[in-house]
């Protein structure tokens, strides 16, 4: 709706005030709520416009990082920041990239109450698709504050939404090498091929006690992840089985860690990054 129609309605309201002779307190309260609504909508609408034009790159990460530090930092969140901490994950992030902590402290009581009560509705009606939450700068800000213990539930909620979003898209076609594992899953240490695709890393199996476990050979696609990706996946329930440290005893190949993850996690990263090998 164009602002013109609302402005005309407010002009008419102003003319009607001349006919009022009582209950001014109620009128003032109602007008204050409208004023607060306009102030909050102006800021949130600017965020929506910037998200659609990719104009928030320079400020999103720093704003969200500062907000996480303020709300989930070592000092217990109190007052308004406690209210913000109780928001759902999506609403919290949207508010955090729209306002600074200083903005929140300077808001009048009516504006803050309106923001808390209506931010989720605003997002539902006006925000772009949920994918805005998974921009790189937002993921980096969240990963950077993974050391804050009180963010654990927030991060779990965020990553749950991220993997849930992936379910709306079909997984990419992923090729699998046609390799037959040895009988009974045992490895012949004299002839066994490397456990990890040699395009990713060459591993001499004679140096790996890990290879003596009864397990099938590993073959498949290689996808390079960032440190932030690893921090993200460790904060979810998509890590399955054991985590192994492989000590290669060799100067040419550094020790490394293997982490078993769910198919959902694999599909998520396969779509996010280019595969290094097929």
Write down which residue in 116, 137, 166 finishes a domain.
166
CB of 69 within 8 A of CB of 147? no
Structure pTM?
0.59
In a domain, 171, yes or no: no
In a domain, 26, yes or no: yes
What pLDDT score does 199 carry?
A: 37
Element (H, E) at 39: helix 24-53
CA distance 5 to 12: 11
What pLDDT score does 173 carry?
A: 54
**Which residue range forms the structural domain that includes residue 34?**
3-166
Write down which residue in 166, 193, 219 finishes a domain.
166
Tell me which residues of the chain have a pLDDT lower than 50.
Answer: 176-215, 277-278
Residue 195, token pair as written in the block: 């456990």
Residue 258, token pair as written in the block: 């293997």
Residue among 99, 105, 112, 32 at smallest CA distance from 66: 99
In a domain, 176, yes or no: no
* DSSP 8-state code for residue 243: E
DSSP string over 108-126: -HHHHHHHHHHHHHHHHHH
In a domain, 124, yes or no: yes
CA distance 103 to 2: 27
Helix (H, G, I), strand (E, B) or coil at 55: coil
What pLDDT score does 212 carry?
A: 42
Residue 141, token pair as written in the block: 């800000």
**Same domain, yes or no, for 94 and 147?**
yes
What pLDDT score does 169 carry?
A: 57
Count of structural domains within the chain: 2
Write down which residue in 110, 139, 166 finishes a domain.
166
What pLDDT score does 101 carry?
A: 93
CA distance 175 to 197: 13
**Same domain, yes or no, for 142 and 257?**
no
What pLDDT score does 54 carry?
A: 67
């Amino acid at each position: 709706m164009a602002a013109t129609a609302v402005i005309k309605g407010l002009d008419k309201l102003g003319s009607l005030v001349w006919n009022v002779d009582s209950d001014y307190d109620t009128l003032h309260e109602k007008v204050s709520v409208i004023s607060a609504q306009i102030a909050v909508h102006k800021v949130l609408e600017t965020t929506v416009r910037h998200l659609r034009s990719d104009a928030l790159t320079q400020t999103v990460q720093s704003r969200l990082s500062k907000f996480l530090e303020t709300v989930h930092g070592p000092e217990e969140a109190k007052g308004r920041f406690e209210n913000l901490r109780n928001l759902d994950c999506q609403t919290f992030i949207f508010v955090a990239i729209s306002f600074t902590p200083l903005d929140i402290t300077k808001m009048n009581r009516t504006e803050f109450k309106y923001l808390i009560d209506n931010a989720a509705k605003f997002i539902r009606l006006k925000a772009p698709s949920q994918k805005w939450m998974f921009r790189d700068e937002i993921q980096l800000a969240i990963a950077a504050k993974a050391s804050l213990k009180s963010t654990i539930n927030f991060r779990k909620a965020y990553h749950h939404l991220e993997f849930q979003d992936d379910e709306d898209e079909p997984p990419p076609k992923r090729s699998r090498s046609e390799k037959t594992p040895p009988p009974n899953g045992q490895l012949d240490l004299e002839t066994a091929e490397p456990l990890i695709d040699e395009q990713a890393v060459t591993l001499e199996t004679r140096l790996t006690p890990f290879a003596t476990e009864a397990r099938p050979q590993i073959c498949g696609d290689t996808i390079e992840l960032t440190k932030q990706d690893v921090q993200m996946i460790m904060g979810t329930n998509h890590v399955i089985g054991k985590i192994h440290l492989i000590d290669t005893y060799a100067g040419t190949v550094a020790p490394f860690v293997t982490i078993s993850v769910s198919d959902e996690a694999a599909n998520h990263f396969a779509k996010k990054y280019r595969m290094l090998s097929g």
